[in-house]
Amino acid sequence: MTVNPLNFILNYFRPSLHVRHFTDVNLLLLKRNGIKLFISDLDNTLISPYKKIPTPDVKIFIQKVQELDMKFVIVSNNTKNKVNFFCKQVNVDGKYGNSKKPFLGTVKKVLKDFNVSKREAVFMGNQVLTDIWVANRLHIDSILVNPIIRVLKGNKKFLRSVLENKIYANLEKNNLLIRDNYSVIEKFEQEDILL
C-alpha cells in the first residue's frame, strides 16, 4: 500500500462530519454513538462574531443537547468575558474562553474536567485550521459547520483565511472534503423524537 504523505497531513484537517449549520447536526446519532460531551466553538459556529446574544435557535439547540443528557461546553479563542456572558444566557456551565486553539491544552483540560474519554466527546467548529485540527490531533470526532457570516477583519485573520482556503483547496483536490457537500444525516428521526 502506498501512502500519499500529503493525504496523511491533510487528514488532520478533515472533519468526521460536515454540515451546513449546527441545526443540521443529528444529536440522536451522536447520543447513540456514546457521545457524552458536546464541545463547541462560539464565534461563527453558533453566533456571528459581532454579536453576543444567543439567537433562539442556538438556545433550542443547546437545550436539546442537554435534554439528551450530553454536557455542552464552549471552547473559544474569544475573551472570557464574551464566552461567560454567552454561557450565562444559555445555562451552560462549561465555559472556556481565551482557549488558544490550535494549542491543545484547553480541550485536554475540558476532557479531564468532565471526566470523559476522547471517544465520548465531539468537537464542532467552523475552522479547519483551528477547530478541526485540534479535534483530530486529539482523536476526537469533529463536525465542520459553515461560518455564520463570511466577514474577516485584520491582517492576522486575513492570513488565516488564506491558509484555510489553501487547506480547503487541497482537501478538495484530494477528495477528502468537498465544500458544501454535506454528510448524509437522518434528520427526520431527530425531529420525530425531539420536537
Task: Give the residues lining the site for Mg ion (CB under 5 A).
Answer: 41, 43-45, 126
Q: Are 131 and 101 in contact (CB under 8 A)?
A: yes
Nearer of residues 120 and 133 to Mg ion, judged by Cβ = 133
Q: Which is nearer to Mg ion, 126 or 142 (CB)?
A: 126
Cell matching residue 153: 477583519
Closest Cα to residue 128, out of 1, 4, 11, 32? 11
Shortest Å, Cβ 80 to Mg ion:
16
Residue 129 CB, nearest distance to Mg ion (Å)? Answer: 10
Nearest distance, CB of residue 49 and Mg ion, angstroms: 7
End-to-end CA distance of the chain: 47
By beta-carbon proximity to Mg ion, the closer residue of 13 and 120 is: 13
Pick the closer one to Mg ion by CB: 68 or 92: 92
Minimum Å gap between C-beta 175 and Mg ion is 25
Cis peptide leading into residue 102 (ω within 30°): yes
Which run of H or E residues covers position 187? helix 187-194
